[in-house]
Amino acid sequence: MKKEKKIICVRCPRGCEVQTSIDGAEIFEIKGNVCRLGEDYVKDEIKNPKRIVTTTVKIKNSASVLLPVWTEKPVPKDKIFEIMKILNTIEVQPPVKSDDIIVENILNTGVNVIASSNVNS
C-alpha cells in the first residue's frame, strides 16, 4: 500500500522538504528536492537509515566523570540501542586524547567510537 512521507533533507543547509511515495522500502516518487543530494538522502533514509551516535562513557579515577565520544561515521539506525548498551558499560583509563579510539569497529559496523575531548587525570 503506497503512502506519502515527508522527509527534511539535511545534506546541505537548504533543508528541502522532500515528498516521497513509498510502499515499504520501495520508492515510487521523490519530489521537492532542489539538488541530487536530496534524492540520494531520501533513498538512504528509506532503505538504510544511518546516524552519528554521540554520547559519553565513564572515566576511571578522574576528576572528570564522563568523556564525550562519538561514532566517526554514521551507523545503521537499528543498531543504535545496542551500541548504547555497549557504551554504557565502557570505562576508560586516562590519559585520553581527542580522536583516540575508544571502541574499534563497534558491532562489526566498520565504525570506530572515538573520544571528542582530552582527559589527563
pLDDT (tens, 9 = 90+) of the chain, 121 residues, equals 889 999 999 989 999 999 999 988 789 999 999 999 999 999 999 999 999 999 999 999 877 789 999 999 999 999 999 999 999 999 999 999 999 999 999 999 999 999 999 998 7
- Residue 7 within a domain: yes
Residue 46 CA to residue 20 CA, distance in Å, equals 10
Q: Tally the domains of the chain.
A: 2
- Residue 84 within a domain: yes
Whether residue 112 contacts residue 101, with contact meaning beta carbons closer than 8 Å, is answered with: yes
CB proximity list for 33: less than 8 A, separation 6 or greater: 9, 16, 18, 39, 41, 42
- Residue 22 within a domain: yes
Report how far apart the first and last C-alpha atoms of the chain are (Å, whole number): 57
* Cell, residue 97: 586524547
Domain that residue 20 falls in: 3-48
Residue 11 CA to residue 38 CA, distance in Å, equals 7
Residue 87 CA to residue 102 CA, distance in Å, equals 9
- Residue 120 within a domain: no
CATH number of 109's domain: 3.10.530.10
Residue 106 CA to residue 81 CA, distance in Å, equals 12
Single out the residue in 13, 30, 48 at which a domain terminates: 48
Residue 113 CA to residue 53 CA, distance in Å, equals 9
At residue 121, the pLDDT reads 74
- 58 and 111 belong to one structural domain: yes
At residue 92, the pLDDT reads 96
